[in-house]
């Protein structure tokens, strides 16, 4: 058992306008195009070069969000304000944001014109990644986008025939919202229950998969009504769903701040079918909101192509196999960052709840002294050695007593 996987879910995704206003405005100047370019994978975020106002700037490529640009960069580029919208962020927190008309930007000589974008006035979530905003699905909606994490390449083209997919089986894409978020069909076996679900592919989320509260509620309603095979009628709900832990806490950040303290569940998913590939031994958690999400972690296992125009997607595993065992491990707790402190956000392991409290400040883990690190250093540093260590020695500051305590966990 692993005691912890160092995880920061910085959800900069899925901003949902609360009226019928559409962000799907803007075109690509070139009628035919095919271009491939490099990206930087920084803690699961896809960082690309964007030319705007004759300068190269860094942006996150995020399929779960609309195109968004920092207020300072917009001031240099010139823009027209269109409207102001109330929004929910990925954690369901409310806010308001301006929509502007961005005259032009380009990605590797592909020119995007008259695009609707959100104006970002608070860049605190983005500054650590050195970016000026997001290129989102409302800008990608007229293209075919190929993600190749093995070679750190992204390809944009106007036609799927420009890529080698003649022998790859396509799966369906759906688009339901005002920003062209890509929704795909999944089939999974939780504990004992087979479940068909529509999920968002969200390249701005660095996890593998998370189950939305709304879809969990649907599952619980189905179980309450006994809408599942007769031979499973006497099976406990936790076994039906593969629930391996539950807890109360908060462990993700989004545009309008930390997620609220809430009840969350952790699942062991026996089979998870993405396209024509089956993934085994997936561990996932619930997340706030209407949309379950498949995140960028899945791109470590294969090449993904989204054909926005023809509403299809293709997944090609890097290894010649139709089944992939992801071998996810159980984590005892997740950290988060709140009020300028690195803290315990949620505790999954019942065995440590008498030693560790939600809100305890994390001062040290083995050789890493977090008390000396800035927020950005914590967000982007490589702590892979912590995952490999056989034990973790935690130095914590108790949230209630302010006492310093040391705890050793087996990894």
CATH number at residue 362: 2.30.42.10
Amino acid 236: pLDDT: 93
The owner of tokens 């974008």 is 117
| 320 in a structural domain | no
Is 308 a member of any domain?
Answer: no
Does the residue 42 lie in any domain? yes
Q: Is residue 30 part of a domain?
A: yes
What pLDDT score was predicted for residue 34?
A: 97
Q: Taking a C-beta distance cutoff of 8 angstroms, is the pair 14, 68 a contact?
A: no
Q: Is the pLDDT of residue 257 over 80?
A: no
Per the domain annotation, does 181 fall within a domain? no
Q: Can you tell me the distance from the alpha carbon of 65 to that of 57, in angstroms, rounded to the nearest whole number?
A: 18
The predicted-structure confidence for 333-353, as pLDDT tens digits, reads as follows: 888 888 889 999 999 999 999
Q: Tens of pLDDT along 129-185?
A: 999 999 999 999 999 999 999 999 999 999 999 998 767 889 999 999 889 999 999
What is the rounded average pLDDT for all residues in the chain? Answer: 87
The answer to the question of residue 240 being in a domain is no
Q: Check pLDDT > 80 for residue 371.
A: yes
Question: Max alpha carbon distance in the chain (Å)?
Answer: 65
7 has pLDDT over 60: no
349 forms beta bridges with none
Confidence at residue 81, expressed as pLDDT on a 0 to 100 scale: 93
Q: Residue 162: helix, strand or coil by DSSP?
A: helix
Confidence of residue 391 (pLDDT cuts 50, 70, 90): confident
C-alpha dihedral (95, 99, 102, 103), degrees to nearest 10: -170
Give the span between the Cα atoms of 25 and 18, in whole angstroms. 17
Is 193 part of a structural domain of the chain? Answer: no
| pLDDT band at residue 410 under the 50/70/90 scheme | confident
pLDDT for 251: 56
Q: What pTM, to 2 d.p., does this model score?
A: 0.90
Contacts of 266 (CB under 8 A, 6+ apart): 243, 244, 245, 246, 247, 283, 284, 285, 330, 348
Q: Residue 369: inside a domain, yes or no?
A: yes
Most confidently modeled range among 6-15, 143-152, 377-386: 143-152
State the pLDDT confidence band at 2, using cuts at 50, 70 and 90. very low
Among 114, 131, 162, give the residue marking a domain's end.
162
Burial class (CB in 10 A: 0-12, 13-18, 19+), 18: exposed
Using alpha carbons, select from 347, 356, 411, 353 the residue that is nearest to residue 384: 411
pLDDT at 8 over 50: no
Q: How confident is the model at residue 259 (pLDDT cuts 50, 70, 90)?
A: low
Coarse DSSP helix, strand, coil percentages of the chain, rounded to the nearest 5 percent: 15, 45, 40
Q: In a 3-state reduction of DSSP, which class is residue 94?
A: strand
pLDDT at 57: 97
**Is 324 in contact with 280 (CB distance < 8 Å)?**
yes
Domain boundary among 145, 162, 179: 162
Mark which of 96, 130, 162 sits at the end of a domain.
162
* The pLDDT of residue 296 is above 70: yes
Residues whose CB is less than 8 angstroms from the CB of residue 401 and which lie 6 or more positions away in sequence, other chains included? none
d(CA 112, CA 380): 30
State yes or no: pLDDT of 363 exceeds 90. yes
**Mean of pLDDT values over 283-298:** 90
Token output for 49: 């070069």
- Position 28 pLDDT exceeds 60: yes
- Beta-bridge partners for 60: 47, 134
Which residues fall within 8 angstroms of residue 6, CB to CB, at 6 or more apart? 335, 365, 383, 386, 387
Q: Which of 147-156, 215-224, 233-242 has the highest mean pLDDT?
A: 147-156
370's CB contacts (< 8 A; 6+ apart) are: 342, 362, 363, 364, 378
Q: Which of 165-174, 357-366, 391-400 has the lowest mean pLDDT?
A: 165-174
User: Could you list the residue range(s) of the whole structural domain that residue 45 is in?
Assistant: 12-162
The mean pLDDT value for 225-252 works out to 86
- Given this model, what pLDDT does residue 5 score? 39
Lookup result for tokens 């160092």: 6
Pairing of strands 194-201, 292-294: parallel
CB 9 within 8 A of CB 336: no
CA distance 24 to 21: 9
Of all residues in the chain, what percent carry a pLDDT higher than 90?
Answer: 63
CB-CB neighbours of 35 under 10 Å:
13
Supply the CATH number for residue 59's domain: 2.40.70.10
Total count of domains within the chain: 2
Average pLDDT over residues 257-272: 79
**The predicted structure's pLDDT at residue 14:** 43
What is residue 86's predicted lDDT score, i.e. its pLDDT?
74
């Amino acid at each position: 058992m692993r005691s912890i996987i160092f995880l920061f879910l910085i959800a900069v995704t899925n901003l949902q306008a609360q009226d019928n206003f559409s962000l799907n405005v803007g075109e690509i100047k070139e009628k035919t195009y095919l271009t491939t370019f490099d990206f930087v994978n920084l803690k699961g975020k896809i960082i690309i070069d964007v030319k705007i106002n004759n300068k190269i700037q860094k942006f996150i490529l995020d399929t779960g969000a609309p195109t968004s640009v920092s207020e300072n960069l917009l001031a240099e580029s010139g823009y027209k304000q269109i409207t102001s919208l109330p929004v929910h962020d990925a954690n369901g927190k409310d806010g308001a944001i301006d929509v502007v008309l961005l005259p032009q930007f380009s990605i590797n000589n592909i020119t995007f014109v008259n695009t609707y974008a959100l104006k970002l006035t608070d860049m605190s979530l983005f500054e650590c990644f050195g970016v000026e905003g997001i290129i989102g699905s409302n800008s990608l909606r007229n293209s075919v986008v190929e993600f190749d994490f093995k070679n750190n390449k992204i390809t944009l083209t106007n036609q799927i025939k420009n890529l080698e997919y003649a022998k790859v089986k396509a799966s369906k894409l759906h688009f339901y919202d005002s920003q062209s978020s890509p929704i795909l069909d999944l089939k999974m076996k939780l504990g004992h229950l087979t479940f068909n679900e529509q999920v968002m592919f969200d390249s701005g989320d660095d996890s593998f998969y998370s189950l939305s509260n709304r879809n969990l509620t649907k599952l619980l309603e189905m179980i309450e009504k006994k809408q599942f095979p007769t031979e499973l009628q006497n099976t406990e709900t936790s076994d039906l769903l593969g629930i391996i832990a539950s807890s109360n806490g908060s462990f993700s950040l989004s545009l309008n701040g930390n997620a609220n303290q809430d009840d969350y569940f952790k699942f062991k998913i026996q089979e998870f079918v993405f396209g024509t590939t089956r993934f085994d031994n997936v561990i996932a958690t619930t997340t706030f909101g209407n949309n379950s999400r498949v995140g960028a972690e899945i791109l470590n296992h294969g090449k993904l192509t989204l054909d926005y125009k023809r509403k299809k997607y293709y997944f090609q595993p890097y290894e010649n196999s139709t089944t992939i065992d992801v071998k996810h491990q159980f984590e005892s707790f997740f950290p988060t960052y709140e009020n300028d402190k690195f803290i315990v956000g949620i505790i999954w392991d019942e065995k440590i709840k008498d030693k560790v409290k939600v809100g305890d400040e994390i001062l040290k883990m083995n050789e890493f002294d977090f008390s000396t690190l800035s927020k950005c250093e914590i967000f982007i540093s490589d702590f892979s050695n912590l995952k490999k260590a056989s034990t973790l020695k935690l130095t914590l500051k108790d949230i209630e007593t302010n006492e310093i305590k040391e705890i050793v966990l087996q990894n």
